[in-house]
Structure 1
Amino acid sequence: MTRIVHISDLHFGKPAAHERLEALKGLVPGLRPTAVAVSGDLTQRCANREFEQARSYLKELERSAPCIVVPGNHDIRWLGAVARNLGFAGLFRRKAHEFKYSRYRRYIREELSPALEIPGAVIAGLNTAHGISRGSLTRRLKDLGVIGHVRRSDVERARRLFEQAPPGAARVVMIHHNPIKGPVSGRHGLANTEWALEVLASIGTELILCGHDHQEAIHAIERTPGLVISTAGTISNRVRPGRSSSFNLVDIGQESLRIVTYTWNRDMKNFLPSTERLFPRPRKPRRYNLNSMKDDGRDLGHVEQTDPRR
């Protein structure tokens, strides 16, 4: 059994919930994970102090298992994103791009789209946090700088990684932005959500780990059978109305995939199991011609959505 503790949206800074962070840190060793996956938004303001706190916290988690991390939209410097779009091609744009991710790379990881191979699974991290960029633009002004997108080059990198993976290993992708609309927010986090889900399914992805929406959810996509999405809630105080902080526990067996949501219990002052879903693992991944798929940014229909509070 391969076990992944999937957490997201820690938001070190003012929204940080230290009691919950400490409880989670104490709970993880007993869960005996194979890996810990952190799907972005480590900080609130992308400040040095917040990154220092996040780095220290990740080191504590790494005592239990190796960690794989991707940046969220709160982890990049917006000024760098703006400067890159205003600048001319060449040195200035490269410098602006480096500035955009400079604090994340200094304190957390140099690699923005990391990979982790563990017994029973391969996890490909894809950076979807690009700030104000052409690929993330939508018709909604409030999406500016918040929404993200999946890049074809990152999908190709994940495809090569999956092709080299051992037979039977689960192909897992981790991104920050949620590709399915949250029931409370009414928003998904990707500008090219349908294309992204289609191509990720085409390379054999079984499971997508994400966050961003601050609402726990488990999704199965009817249009792409065998593809499951684990959306972890936030550990911070920035929870959706009527929701609590949460994280997901993923167990991958030879024939099945189980996801258990752990929700913060105020009375017990700890995270407790609140829901469980079991999915059969696909025997043969679906295959598509990636070059024939147009990235048109359309929304995805026919989604089976599970409310973890049920």
Structure 2
Amino acid sequence: MFRLAHLSDIHLGPLPDVTYRELASKRITGYVNWQRNRRRLLHNGVTDALLADMETNGIDHVAITGDLVNLALDAEIDLAREWLTTVGTPDNVSVVPGNHDAYVPGALAKACKAWRPYMTGEKTGVSQSKTGFPYLRTRENVALIGVSSARATAPFMALGSFGAEQAVRVGQLLDIARDRGLFRVVLIHHPPVRGATTAHKRLYGIGLFQKTLRRHGAEIVLHGHTHLPTLYWIGGKDNNVPVIGVPAAGQGAGGENPPAQYNLLEIGGGPGMWQVNLTRRGIIDGAPTFRIKAEKTVNLFSEPQYAAR
């Protein structure tokens, strides 16, 4: 049984000192939002509590689906690199970026360079973007396929994109993993499902993403961005594919969104007989204890939505 933990939207804080020059961009809106809202609700202590709970649960690998930082300041990117070393080694942690990691032009390239060991896949012969996506990492009988939906956007926007070039490459990696008999986990920040979030935060290319899965198949999609514990289903090549969201790993209690959680996925079986149990584990009270509670475990592949179309 392979035990995979899924975290997202850490939004590491507090913010470092920000210069006037750095605020002369979209960052000014994010900075105001941090001061008015996020500073009160995002609490690194809850993230530490999740990591401590993961350690007690014998996690084999950690998948982080973006938004490690807030404004993508150079100091934040460096801090996130150091934080990743506390989560695990590059062999045990896989990362894809989110919109906050690409907050302004040029930030995504800096973040991917700093976090490269956690985003480096194996040699497959499939080409990649300049920032190294998509990638394929094999851990035991599981294939982690990292997809980047991150892009710099205008103020008050948090859009993502999934384009034709990446779609072709993702399809090739899905086929490679299928031919090896691997359980395919696709990691992406923005939810590839219509209606999952508001128009100014949505993913451009949802139809293309879903078409790619229908053509090539996948077992599970993990995403962040919405800060919600969601479960959607999209049509795959042979079966409907569960698309799983998670609350922000830095979210404290008292906000509109649920407090911090991580998804624990226990993966067993083999091709045609995969079994996956999903348990959401998260914060149930505030500082200083941050007690963790597990929600009911769900056997995803026994759900009626999983039946082949």
Give the TM-score normalised by structure 1: 0.73
**Match of 1:196, SS?**
helix
One of 99, 110, 117 as aligned partner of 1:73: 99
* Partner AA of 2:224 in structure 1: G
Task: Find the counterpart in structure 2 of residue 6 from structure 1.
Answer: 6
1:215-234 pair list within 5 angstroms: 215-221=228-234, 225-234=239-248
One of 136, 140, 160 as aligned partner of 2:172: 160
Q: Retained in 2: the 8 A contact 1:251–1:258? A: yes
1:286 deviation in Å? Answer: 8.3
- 2:278 is the counterpart of 1:266: no
Q: Distance in 2 between matches of 1:35 and 1:5?
A: 6
Task: Find the counterpart in structure 1 of residue 146 from structure 2.
Answer: 125
One of 37, 59, 66 as aligned partner of 2:63: 37
Task: Find the counterpart in structure 2 of residue 107 from structure 1.
Answer: 114
Q: Distance in 2 between matches of 1:32 and 1:273?
A: 15
Q: Retained in 1: the 8 A contact 2:142–2:183? A: yes
- 2:147 is the counterpart of 1:147: no
Cα-to-partner distance string for 1:212-237 (whole Å, 9 max, x where unaligned): 00111122336873301111210123
**Match of 2:300, SS?**
strand
Aligned-residue CA RMSD (Å): 3.1
Q: Distance in 2 between matches of 1:64 and 1:125?
A: 14
* Partner AA of 2:63 in structure 1: A
1:177 deviation in Å? Answer: 0.4
Matched residue count: 257
* Partner AA of 1:201 in structure 2: R
Change (3 A) 1:237 1:171: closer
* Partner AA of 2:279 in structure 1: V
Change (3 A) 1:108 1:65: closer
**Match of 1:164, SS?**
helix
Change (3 A) 1:242 1:54: closer
Cα-to-partner distance string for 1:152-172 (whole Å, 9 max, x where unaligned): 222222222232235431111
Change (3 A) 1:74 1:48: same
Q: Retained in 2: the 8 A contact 1:33–1:64? A: no
- 2:275 is the counterpart of 1:249: no
- 2:177 is the counterpart of 1:169: no
Give the TM-score normalised by structure 2: 0.73
* Partner AA of 1:263 in structure 2: G
One of 51, 66, 77 as aligned partner of 1:51: 77
Q: Retained in 2: the 8 A contact 1:70–1:113? A: no
Q: Retained in 2: the 8 A contact 1:226–1:281? A: no
Q: Distance in 2 between matches of 1:260 and 1:253?
A: 15
Task: Find the counterpart in structure 2 of residue 90 from structure 1.
Answer: none
Q: Distance in 2 between matches of 1:64 and 1:150?
A: 25
Q: Retained in 1: the 8 A contact 2:4–2:61? A: yes
Q: Retained in 1: the 8 A contact 2:46–2:251? A: no
**Match of 1:220, SS?**
strand
1:247 deviation in Å? Answer: 1.4
* Partner AA of 1:115 in structure 2: L
1:54 deviation in Å? Answer: 1.5
Q: Retained in 1: the 8 A contact 2:134–2:170? A: no
- 2:216 is the counterpart of 1:197: no
Q: Distance in 2 between matches of 1:192 and 1:233?
A: 23
* Partner AA of 2:277 in structure 1: R
1:101 deviation in Å? Answer: 2.1
**Match of 2:45, SS?**
helix
